[in-house]
Structure 1
């Protein structure tokens, strides 16, 4: 029988009380947020002094502490990162959990040996995404929660990196890091730790659900206690519990149950038995949304994962809470210690304190006051032992007291107590230091490329002119357009588009002939293939089709929306153009410096205001000025929740088996029919949010109810030095596309304010300016 690797049990802590609850409940490590840069801005979080204290306490107990820096950083913020992390690094911080590429690059340079963990906010969905991050020194990835157990196992076996996977807690409907829902509806960005959770609000699915109000975006909480043996066998390095907004009782109760289950499985891999009814009752009684599910480990999606009727938290069992308080929270967590005291008149008190149960225990020795000869009543052994056992509040418990003392020895009780306190304080410090991290070179970062397939690391220098524009008057803006249909494509080209982004759905039927005709008719326009937003292990066959399409020479470039997509292009030795979609989040110049030699175009992020966008380097900058903004990218499917899954429909017709996956059952005809069926979400304010169902790659994109339109700002955008603007077309007809392209193209080339005003008066569609004026909180 193979010996299974012991996984780390990683618990959340939103404040110091929760941190101590996690330690008492048996966590191997705890992750916390400081006062800045954390994705739980509304948690209690830790002051700088508390972070340092928590590090000392965690290391004393032989535990690890990770700090979240899992938000996107604006240019005026990233420069503050060094001063923020510096004191924690010096205090022995075990690792940082990071979302921002620029922050990763900076931290790896400034703090050698500091473990860098890629947050689930980085949307790592396959081995390629993990391999891409190696070049930045990342040694651990927290993959998307949407991955199956098989995909997680492949990451463990093939990436050469540690894998940290969620096992319990609340679930986001959207792939983490891809959600702009809260940001666009209320200005509170999930990428900044301020999500207002609009996914927990009621909606109507149109068509479907008979128009009834439900909660189609509210996932049940994850509970994988029954899967623990499988997760251990998969080789996962760290089991992560969600919940930095939760109370100490939740942290202690959930952690203790998983601690027992993990230990039972390791002690008896083949005979751990079923989860006890009492443990299941604890988990189901602690801040759970009505029901629990096993997450995505054994399913790709499904209506059964949704709390359609009620997303609110169920009440907690008060008896369970009281048992947790009395059994875990109230008792002191202690470490066994052996105390040896020597008391002989005329010599100083000598006290040695050593950890018990260690082959080579940490130990310290202290000297106290000189021992006196008793004139009346000497100290008894019982007197000395009584004082030495008074370790309450120290974190120690005296497991053994060893005394070497004369019968006539005397010492004030105060002196005994002082020596005990001094000795235990020194032992605590020494233990914490010995358990702290050993600073060596980053686990994964090397001077050479991280892997044979890795993209060589190069944090390109960003010159002042590149940062702010040269100050020289610029020519007309290039106009780029993203389209969904052939009629939209021709409308854009006829109205002067310099570049088209074509989705993978174009690669159906006689697409080669269509593209050849397009290039012949509009020889000056560039054609870029847009890679799918989400790429997973199951997509290999379809990626081969995309590879073959790129091999035709019909595409001038590729638009990548994910780390996996960019890594795939490198593996293919792609020599054409590379455009980065706004989903790759270039929020600061440090991030740009990393990407500079890996792309020719980047789309500015959609949550920055104009000031933030204009502060970014101009070379290759593309600004989205029109289109419905994608608010969510999801593995769960609105179509399936409404009972209209194409796979299930085909299965009922007998054309495939129930176990057939999406990648092999869809014909071009079936996929085209699926694309034509429109789904929308209707909220309480009668706003309709279009839902794009990508049945080939099996994900949804939920769009904003109105289009972004920055037609009134084209003049200042041109003056800013940006190289291009981009228009995204979703549902527009060919005629609507032509109308809007014409307006934007004329605004891009005009130099007359009066002419621009006349053109702007032709705008006849509902629109929003998004975050362009104010920016996300």
Structure 2
């Protein structure tokens, strides 16, 4: 192995940064107040940057800034300003989601490394290759849904060095593809404002009947990732960087997790490091966990990922209550598990299968004769609710927290010494010259002996002697790395003179100014924007495209003589029949949708689409852009999932993928949409005017986990094909759940949203392409909804009439949704 794997730790504040350095991190990642996906973290300020980077570099640690959110058109100048500050502070790398921002970073701050964030949804080698066409990368952070076998298929070495998450919270939805917070509360996950709807309870409604699942209510809340045992396999797969999630976590979490993974990586590299112990595993579970799992790295096992019993921190399982009295309990520990020690002050929670907001917990008062005793007054426990059969979890260990806190607070952080490379020249009768070079000094520093070299009668100056004398750098900030001996003949110089030369060299190098931080270029955001152009469609009539998810809906669209029809079927084998039906209606052109996610080895789905011979394709991921890049015989539309939020991103994708149009990101409200249409030709874009917003798009299969006894599509019995399933949220709203060809689940908002009220403003801005998306409407409902929107586009209906008319054909009504949101 020609590289040393990197351990990358999170830092939400200064204490977390110090804890990460103390525990052995090679690099940390952190955010600034804007453009980062953890806005609830303390984060660092622009003023912190120089001091933070100096601290990190002094200890041999790198610093990566997260700018991993979408960038709206009106924010491009502010993003440019932040890029310049990052470059000036000597930041080592930028972690970026938005493709337009990545192009800006490459052009404006080219000396800062560019890392593709996991929010870029890199799930296959083909998707990575497409991004590499746009700009060179120094790192690609892969989606957390990939297995070891799938990561290995990126190649060794991969075209771009790979990074994976190895520990921390798992998002149930693909990063960069979660619209839940945006749709339900106008708090976009793509903007760092995730509301964690996945951690809420849901009811499972199958064919109209609520299923009795008992205490299983957290249907979308995964356990936490712990890949400590997968480190050797990940190294073998060529992974270069191991990332710990947790910028919202405490410095104790950062320190505890970092030092365990430091041990695991060093052990995998064959360094003399103790093996991972039960104490290490306990620390991982105790500092924060909802239960630990290897996630998707070991392959698909849906029930092991999401058991549904709770969504909060739990910690280690202690056992089941066998006896309960007023003030004390006895428990039966699990037979096959090492139970962590219990002591006074430890926190526990009683898991009675009840509403998690009402569950009880307290600190242990004392332990006597295998009885766990709680203070009757100050514990606050209602002992009438404590009974045999209730399970117990340990939620806090103050002693462990104190030990970890002392560890990172008292750690003696040794500054990394600067390596000196020495060249020694001279000959008898001439002075000895030392030329010292370091990576940070802008030029070599030279010192010359005050006396000439003498011919050596006995002990000439050898490389060993010079290394010993000149390498005595003691408490200085330097260490001798290499010595190039170029003396001519046998030479001698007094030791006192060698010592004087060493001191003068150190003083000179210390006085040399450090190499200035990389500076930004003169390129501005305006240089990267598309040129202003007249809107070619200004006089054209508005065009309505319709997306259908069933043959009934397709028949309604064909009957309505829709010009462009997108088909998005769960079973792509039915695409051939859809194309055949459309061929009988020459006024309609049919486009087939790709899956939203493509993983390694799944391009066969795209070939299935090609064999159906459509007029065009609706491209939903970077891999499909790469696959169809040279297919100029097909009309190609980029879908919302490509996250087009600004003109620079639009220009990149339109030109490199040779697209006809791009669907505007669902993260934009009406003001931001109008800004985008002003910043780029409106003819580039299509806007979804009516839809059921896709909330979660996830590898996790609810059908398999909670409606079968299987673990994957191989043994689940495919309940998704024979049942209509909804999830009911806490306010009683039903949301439709569907599976796609890859068994990935999408949860759709039960309420449709309409942008009808904004139609006149959009047309005035030059937009001519609009889309209507069906979900589960039958022929009659689809026909009615379509006729209403056709009436709107033809000027026969007023915008304010649409919501009322469409609500009549929708069981759950409509809302203006995200277009109307104001931030």
Q: TM-score, normalised by structure 1?
A: 0.79
2:233 maps to 230
Contact 1:639 1:645 in 2 (8 A): no
Equivalent position SS for 2:39: coil
2:217 aligned to which of 211, 214, 227: 214
What is the alpha-carbon distance in structure 2 between the residues aligned to residue 396 and residue 252 of structure 1?
Answer: 28
1:543 equivalent to 2:589? Answer no
CA distance 1:513–1:304, shift in 2 (3 Å) = closer
1:156 & 1:718 partners in 2: Cα distance? 47
Tell me the CA shift for residue 153 of structure 1: 1.7
**Which whole-Å CA distance do the structure 2 matches of 1:76 and 1:652 have between them?**
48
1:528 aligns with 2:591: yes
In structure 1, what is the Cα distance between the partners aligned to 2:709 and 2:186? 33
Q: What residue number does 1:27 align with?
A: 25
Q: Which residue of 1 aligns with 2:123?
A: 125
The 3 A distance-change label for structure 1 pair 517 and 281 is: closer
Matched, 1:185 2:184: yes
Q: Deviations over 1:577-631 (max 9, x none)?
A: 1101111111111111212322111111112111111222301321111121101
Partner of 2:768: 723
User: Which secondary structure state, in structure 1, belongs to the residue aligned with residue 178 of structure 2?
Assistant: coil
**Distance in structure 2 (CA, Å) of the matches to 1:162 and 1:49:** 31
- Is contact 1:580-1:601 (8 Å) kept? yes
Residue of structure 2 in register with 1:330 after alignment: 410
Partner SS for 1:642: helix
* CA distance in 1: counterparts of 2:305 and 2:555, whole angstroms: 41
The counterpart of 1:636, out of the listed 670, 693, 700, is 700
Distance change in 2, residues 1:652/1:228 (3 Å): closer
Among 553, 566, 578, the alignment partner of 2:625 is 566
- Supply the distance in 2 between the matched residues of 1:493 and 1:476 (Cα, whole angstroms): 20
C-alpha distance in 1 between matches for 2:512 and 2:19: 21
Offset from partner CA, 1:306-335 (integer Å, 9 cap, x none): 152122123332222222222333223013
What are the superposed Cα offsets for residues 436-457 of structure 1, whole Å, 9 maximum, x if unpaired? 88999xxxxxxxxxxxxxxxxx
Q: CA deviation at 1:508?
A: 2.8
Classify 1:325/1:567 alpha carbon distance in 2 versus 1 (closer, same or farther; 3 Å): same
Q: Which has the higher helix share?
A: 1
In the alignment, structure 1 residue 605 sits paired with structure 2 residue 697:
no
Deviation per CA, 1:45-69, whole angstroms, max 9, x where unpaired? 1111212212112222222111100
- Is the Cα contact below 8 Å between 1:12 and 1:243 reproduced in 2? yes
> What residue in structure 2 maps to residue 383 of structure 1?
none
Look up the match of 1:580: 638
Unpaired runs of at least 5, structure 1: 339-351, 367-388, 398-403, 407-419, 441-458, 654-669
By how many angstroms is 1:209 displaced? 4.9
The separation in 2 between residues aligned to 1:649 and 1:84, in whole angstroms, is 46
**1:663-705 residue CA offsets vs partner (Å, 9 max, x unmatched):** xxxxxxx7xx8445222111121111111112x3120011112
Q: Aligned partners of 1:159 and 1:39: how far apart in 2?
A: 27
Deviation at 1:203? 0.6
- Partner residue in 2 for 1:508: 573
Residue 752 and residue 544 in structure 1: after superposition, are their counterparts in 2 closer, same or farther (change >3 A)? Answer: closer
Query: Who is 1:464 aligned against?
Result: 532
Paired position in structure 2 for 1:287: 288
Instruction: State the distance in 2 between where 1:68 and 1:191 align.
Output: 13
Contact 2:104 2:528 survives alignment (8 Å): no
1:317 pairs with 2:385: no
The 8 Å contact of residues 718 and 748 in structure 1, kept in 2 or not, is answered as no
The SS at the match of 1:51 is helix
Cα separation, 1, equivalents of 2:546 and 2:143: 30
C-alpha spacing 1:326/1:526, structure 2 compared with 1 (3 Å): same
Question: Aligned to 1:49, which of 34, 47, 52?
Answer: 47
Aligned pairs for 1:153-302 (under 5 A) are 153-157=152-156, 159-207=158-206, 209-212=211-214, 214-267=217-270, 275-289=276-290, 291-302=291-302
Residue 230 of structure 1: how far off its partner (Å): 1.2
Asked if 1 retains the 8 angstrom alpha-carbon contact of 2:694 and 2:748, the reply is yes
SS of 1:702's partner is strand
Deviation per CA, 1:133-162: give whole Å up to 9, x if none: 112222211111000011112225264111
Partners of 1:283 and 1:646 in 2: how far apart? 29
State how far apart, in whole Å, the 1-side matches of 2:610 and 2:308 are: 40
The residue aligned with 1:713 is: 758
Alignment of 1:362-761 (within 5 A): 427=510, 462-465=530-533, 469=535, 474-505=539-570, 507-508=572-573, 512=576, 514-520=578-584, 522-549=585-612, 552=613, 555-570=614-629, 573-597=631-655, 598-616=658-676, 617=680, 618-644=682-708, 651=715, 674-694=720-740, 696-750=741-795, 761=804
In structure 2, the CA distance between the partners of 1:260 and 1:95, relative to structure 1 (3 Å rule), is same
Q: TM-score, normalised by structure 2?
A: 0.74
Aligned to 1:344: none
Instruction: Tell me the alpha carbon deviations over residues 698-721 of structure 1, each in whole angstroms, 9 at most, x when there is no partner.
Output: 200111120012233333332231
Deviation at 1:724, TM superposition (A): 1.2
Give the superposed CA RMSD: 3.8
SS at match of 2:40: coil
Mapped partners of 1:303, 1:245: distance in 2: 27
SS at structure 1 position matched to 2:596: coil
TM-superposed deviation, 1:266: 0.9
Query: Structure 1 residues 308, 584: CA separation in 2 closer, same or farther (over 3 Å shift)?
Result: same
Hey, what's the Cα distance between the residues in 2 that align with 1:492 and 1:337?
70
Q: Does 1:762 align with 2:765?
A: no
Distance of aligned partners of 1:323 and 1:477 in 2 relative to their CA distance in 1, 3 Å threshold: same
Quote the Cα distance in structure 1 between the aligned partners of 2:243 and 2:52.
19
Q: CA offsets, 1:719-762, max 9 Å, x none?
A: 23112111111100010000000000011011675xx6666653
Q: Is the 8 A contact 2:263 2:274 kept in 1?
A: no
How many residue pairs match? The answer is 669
Aligned counterpart, 1:450:
none
